[in-house]
Amino acid sequence: MTDLPVGERKPLAPPVDDSGLVGWARRNLFSSWGNGITTVVLFAAIGWVVSWFVEWAILTANFTASTGAECRGYGACWALIREKLRLIFFGTYPYEQQWRPLLAVVAMLAMLIATSDRRMWRPWRLLAIWSVGSFVTFLLMFGQLHIPLSLFLFAALVIGLGGLAFRRQVGSAGEVNAYRALVAIGVIGIGLRFAGILPAWKLGIAPFSFVETGQWGGLPVTMILATYGLVFAFPYGILLALGRRSNLPLIKGLCVGFIELIRGVPLISLLIMASVMLPLFLPTGVTFDKFLRAQVAVILFAGAYIAEIIRGGLQSLPKGQFEAADAMGLNYFQKTTLIILPQALRVVIPPLINTFIGFFKDTSLVLIIGIFDFLNTANQALVDPAWAGYPGEVYLFAAFVYFVFCYSMSRYSKHLEIELNKGTRR
């Protein structure tokens, strides 16, 4: 076909690879003597490890023993996991009430899965998902909720401000006035509450027995610390990153100072400060829940890291994007939320999810201040003398659960990258 004159040649299909599995193996695994030997040795090694593991973990494992002594002579003692499963997952939560943390975990998973769907990424939908999900989660965990009036006022203020920020330009007059009314109610109400004119009224919802945070343990604790830690740290990190790029020296200085300070200390020291030193500075009688203090420490810490990642994304954008947005007459807020952040966040999905995964695992450090997260309750399962001597099984199981969560996040990150870049790449 190449003997046709120039200009009349037709495009040809690329050559087809028809050599099959054997051809693929020859090219990729046995292309030379050295490669062939390496392949054989590695396959033998992998085969040996896998066969040993299968024999230990499945073929000779004991699933039914009722004490550790009965496991002697067998491979893995999975009976221990069976026996301690509820302790590992729910810690010291009252035994007969443990259906509640189980449902709380289900509620949180449902909330996270719903959030991971891009069709839900609308302010109102997210607000609905997270308020319902959080309400259910904490109602189940605590058993009773007493929501103070000021929280409602604060919610009205936040919703009103958010609505004004996003919808003032595009919403109808009635809608915008509704936001103004919400802001006014929030501001006036909180002012009156502080002045002591409004009473300390609380909305009490008490369908179950009350379980304080000190009795919480296991997977729900890890999930709450990680989920709410990151959910609050994320917007907070965005604000820090924007603040760090601000032209106003005071804001910039505060943000830089905060980020450097938090990044400069280990999470453990921050947790210890939150649990031991903070109460010393508070006036007597004022106490914060230990769990809440740990949660705040995680938020502050994660926020600083997320801020630096997002700053990287902001810096990767060409200057022209900022200029084009400016030249159109968009104000700072519109420019940031419509043009800059959507692009910057897209760029930083891989490092962001990397940090999320890191923090999911780092929450296990709260065991230092006596909170029973998942890894800590797994540890507790080893304390029972009747089951002494099988730490491998317990840690392997804990590792497996962590892996399921982290691997899901990793896959989701990959999926999101492809999804968001659909159309924007040729």
Where on the chain is the footprint of another protein (CB under 8 A)?
169-170, 318, 320-321, 323-331, 334, 338-339, 342-343, 346, 423-426
Q: In angstroms, what is the minimal distance from the CB of 133 to another protein?
A: 28
Q: In angstroms, what is the minimal distance from the CB of 256 to another protein?
A: 24
Q: Is the Cβ of residue 102 or residue 176 nearer to another protein in the bound state?
A: 176
- Which residues make Cβ contacts (< 8 Å) with residue 276, sequence separation at least 6? 369
Q: In angstroms, what is the minimal distance from the CB of 177 to another protein?
A: 15
Which pair of tokens denotes residue 27? 């090219």
- Which residues make Cβ contacts (< 8 Å) with residue 68, sequence separation at least 6? 77, 80, 386, 387, 388, 389, 390
Whole-angstrom distance, CA of residue 40 vs CA of residue 57: 25
Q: In angstroms, what is the minimal distance from the CB of 426 to another protein?
A: 6
Residue type, 344: A
Q: In angstroms, what is the minimal distance from the CB of 315 to another protein?
A: 17
- Which residues make Cβ contacts (< 8 Å) with residue 188, sequence separation at least 6? none
Q: Is the Cβ of residue 62 or residue 321 nearer to another protein in the bound state?
A: 321
Q: Is the Cβ of residue 196 or residue 320 nearer to another protein in the bound state?
A: 320
Which pair of tokens denotes residue 196? 């002591």
Q: In angstroms, what is the minimal distance from the CB of 166 to another protein?
A: 10
List, in sequence order, the alpha helices (H) in 11-122. Answer: 20-28, 33-54, 78-90, 99-116
Q: Of the candidates 182, 179, 181, which has an alpha carbon nearest to the alpha carbon of residue 170? A: 179
Sign of the CA dihedral running 318, 323, 325, 331: positive
Q: Is the Cβ of residue 344 or residue 371 nearer to another protein in the bound state?
A: 344
Q: Is the Cβ of residue 166 or residue 258 nearer to another protein in the bound state?
A: 166
Whole-angstrom distance, CA of residue 184 vs CA of residue 190: 10
Distances (CA, A) of 318 to 111, 252, 314, 344: 35, 21, 9, 10
Q: In angstroms, what is the minimal distance from the CB of 317 to another protein?
A: 10
Q: Is the Cβ of residue 82 or residue 168 nearer to another protein in the bound state?
A: 168
Q: Is the Cβ of residue 13 or residue 170 nearer to another protein in the bound state?
A: 170
CB 290 within 8 A of CB 369: yes
